[in-house]
């Protein structure tokens, strides 16, 4: 790694609902606030008539531009169009999705023309926002990052996240699991208090995903024992349940179905998200949407008890991954020393009570910041990778494979697991196979990832062929297939025919991404064009605001200085005309606004001089 890269490595928590960025600087980990002063930034991108927005401004645009405001992109990244979860989610998203070669693309209108974006591109816009927040704070260019992902993300989702980072102009040094990152933050903050052999369970439930990871902390090492979860269970699902309840209530009261009204549903969703947050500390809240349909206002009081009744089944589902993680780690719940709560959903009282009843209230640690801890841990790992280990202190990660890795068995068409899920890495395992036909001289090794016993239901990571071995009856050749994963998560799959010595292999690097370099280069260029357009639009907007400021300043001076009535009237008229012009010309170039500003300033000055000269003449006459 070059010195410039080593000194500017940031940690990014790339969330479904919100994202956060942190960095090790001046001897400590710093959570970097955005321009609004908030430590978290909404993972939203919006395309309006004359600008592209990312973050809080994009989220604020959702009511007016529901079809061109993109959110929940983490639920799409790395997935295929045919995935069941994608098909289920299409129904609730207001933006348009298109199927291009079995990959979902988002269709939006940009500057009057329809454009298609890969989920990686939208995610890259959020990453770019995090990068800029960090650069504005550090006052230097950021080159590299550690990015977090849900522990239960498969290889495709991880690689797509890497591609998003690359499109944003970052070298992604490592992809780290979110709960592992949270445990790393906890270990770093509590180094003097952690006993040798502490078992920690991290319960991480954010906007879109649930991860449960069990780790053992021993002095300088954080070792992952097991991980489980659901990449489609989070706060967004609770919001959707609440929205459905509101739609049913409206239908019952007003005999009208709003399900196809994207604007109404978007406004409802915003209110339901607010109510969910309110009910974490209040006993009741209200959904208020004015003129939701024609002149009808919708108002509905939701108590905490009602919210829990609506979403109780989802909240109770969260214990299943906990139990699976405990089984995989060969631990009982009594052997867990501490339960760390991460993610916004862990503020929900019913969920917190459920975990307290299961583990015991004394084990629940809810004192850490659930919104920023993951980014904090990513920054700790980023500091290690940038060579600051001695300054940051020991906290070395030993991770596991989140999903099983194996290959196809043709008869029956099942998955033969070679490396089971939750295997500590680095790991290596060899399994012997043979041919299924007489005189067979080649075999295709298909590498699968997943937990289904049916091979086709698991994700195809890669494949390669072994050819050229001797003709012989089926079942005679001995073919050793070896899977080896190093400490960086790079998988090398190889096969060798023991009789002929013929061999072949494939290497799959989780930090190389799934898109080809040519495609990445193309997307980077497209991103740079969009970024340049955004910068031009931002400069034009600032110039328009500066023009308005100048106009109002001139109008204020008219009241404080002595002007002839005629001159004052003319300046006021010109100012009002220019204000109307600004209202009608939202897409003018920066140079036009600047020229208008210069013109009105000169006009006001000239009228002021003329008025002063006229007043001096009058004084002399008197």
What residues act catalytically? Answer: 13, 74, 178, 204
Residue with the two structure tokens 């005189």:
439
Written as one string, the DSSP assignment of 232-277 is: T-SHHHHHHHHHHHHHHHHHHHHS---TT-HHHHHHHHHHHHHHHH
Cβ atoms of residues 177 and 151 within 8 Å: yes
In sequence order, what are the beta bridge partners of 24? Answer: 29
Question: How many other β-carbons are positioned within 10 Å of the β-carbon of residue 301?
Answer: 11
Q: Which DSSP category does 324 fall into?
A: H
Q: What are the distances in angstroms from CA 201 to CA 15, 85, 192, 338, 365?
A: 20, 27, 19, 6, 10
Q: Rounded to whole angstroms, how far apart are CA atoms 248 and 114?
A: 34
Strand ranges in 330-473 using DSSP code E only, listed in sequence order: 338-342, 364-365, 396-398, 405-409, 414-419, 427-433, 442-449, 459-467
Kindly provide the residue ranges of all beta strands, DSSP E only, lying in 208-365, ordered along the sequence: 210-218, 221-230, 284-293, 296-303, 338-342, 364-365
* Nearest Cα to Cα of residue 338 among 223, 222, 194, 221: 194
Length of the chain measured in residues: 622
If we measure between CA atoms, which residue out of 555, 593, 597 comes closest to residue 572?
Answer: 555
Contact between residue 375 and residue 148 where contact means Cβ atoms under 8 Å apart: yes
């Amino acid at each position: 790694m070059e010195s410039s890269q080593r000194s500017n490595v940031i940690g990014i928590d790339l969330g479904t609902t919100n994202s956060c960025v942190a960095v090790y600087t001046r001897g400590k980990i710093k959570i970097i606030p955005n321009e609004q002063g908030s430590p978290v930034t909404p993972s939203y991108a919006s395309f309006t008539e004359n600008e592209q927005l990312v973050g809080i401004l994009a989220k604020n645009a959702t009511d007016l531009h529901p079809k061109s405001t993109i959110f929940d992109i983490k639920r799409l990244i790395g997935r295929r169009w045919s995935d069941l979860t994608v098909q289920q989610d299409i129904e609730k998203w207001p933006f348009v999705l298109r199927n291009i070669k079995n990959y979902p693309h988002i269709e939006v209108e940009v500057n009057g023309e329809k454009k298609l974006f890969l989920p990686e591109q939208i995610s890259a816009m959020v990453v770019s926002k995090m990068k800029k927040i960090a650069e504005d704070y550090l006052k230097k260019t950021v080159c590299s990052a550690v990015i977090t992902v849900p522990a239960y993300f498969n290889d495709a989702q991880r690689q797509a996240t890497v591609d998003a980072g690359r499109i944003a102009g970052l070298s992604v040094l490592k992809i780290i699991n979110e709960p592992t990152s949270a445990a790393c933050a906890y270990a770093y903050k509590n180094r003097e208090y952690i006993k040798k052999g502490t078992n920690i369970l991290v319960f991480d439930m954010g906007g879109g995903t649930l991860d449960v990871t069990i780790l053992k902390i021993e002095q300088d090492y954080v070792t992952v024992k097991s991980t489980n979860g659901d990449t489609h269970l989070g706060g967004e699902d609770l919001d959707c349940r609440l929205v459905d309840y509101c739609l049913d209530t409206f239908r019952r009261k007003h005999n009208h179905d709003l399900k196809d009204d994207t604007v109404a549903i978007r406004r409802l969703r915003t209110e339901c998200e607010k109510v969910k947050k309110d009910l974490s500390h209040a006993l009741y809240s209200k959904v208020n949407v004015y003129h939701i349909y024609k002149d009808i206002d919708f108002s509905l009081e939701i108590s905490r008890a009602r919210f829990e009744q609506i979403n109780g089944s989802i909240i109770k589902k969260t214990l299943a991954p906990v139990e699976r993680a405990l089984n995989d780690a060969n631990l009982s719940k009594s052997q867990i020393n501490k339960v760390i709560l991460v993610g916004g959903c862990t503020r929900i009282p019913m969920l917190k009570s459920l975990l307290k009843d299961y583990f015991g209230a004394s084990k629940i640690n809810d004192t850490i910041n659930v919104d920023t801890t993951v980014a904090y841990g990513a920054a700790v790992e980023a500091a290690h990778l940038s060579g600051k280990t001695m300054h940051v202190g020991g906290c070395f990660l030993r991770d596991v494979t989140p999903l099983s890795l194996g290959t196809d068995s043709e008869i029956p068409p099942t998955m033969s697991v070679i490396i089971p899920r939750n295997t500590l890495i680095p790991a290596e395992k060899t399994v012997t196979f043979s041919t299924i036909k007489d005189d067979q001289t080649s075999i295709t090794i298909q590498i699968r990832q997943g937990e289904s016993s049916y091979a086709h239901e698991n994700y195809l990571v890669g494949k390669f062929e072994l050819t050229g071995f001797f003709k012989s009856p089926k079942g005679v050749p001995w073919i050793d297939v070896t899977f080896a994963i190093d400490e960086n998560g790079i998988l090398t799959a190889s096969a060798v025919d023991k009789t002929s010595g013929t061999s072949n292999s494939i290497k799959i690097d989780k930090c190389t991404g799934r898109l080809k370099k040519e495609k990445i280069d193309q997307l980077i260029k497209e991103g740079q064009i969009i970024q340049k357009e955004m910068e031009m639009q931002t400069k034009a907007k600032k110039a328009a605001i500066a023009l308005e400021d100048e106009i109002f300043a001139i109008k204020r001076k008219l009241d404080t200085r002595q002007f002839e009535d005629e001159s004052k009237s003319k300046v006021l008229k010109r100012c009002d005309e220019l204000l109307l012009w600004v209202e009608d010309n939202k897409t003018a170039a920066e140079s036009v606004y600047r020229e208008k500003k210069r013109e009105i300033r000169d006009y006001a000055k000239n009228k002021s001089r003329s008025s002063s000269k006229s007043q001096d003449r009058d004084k002399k006459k008197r």
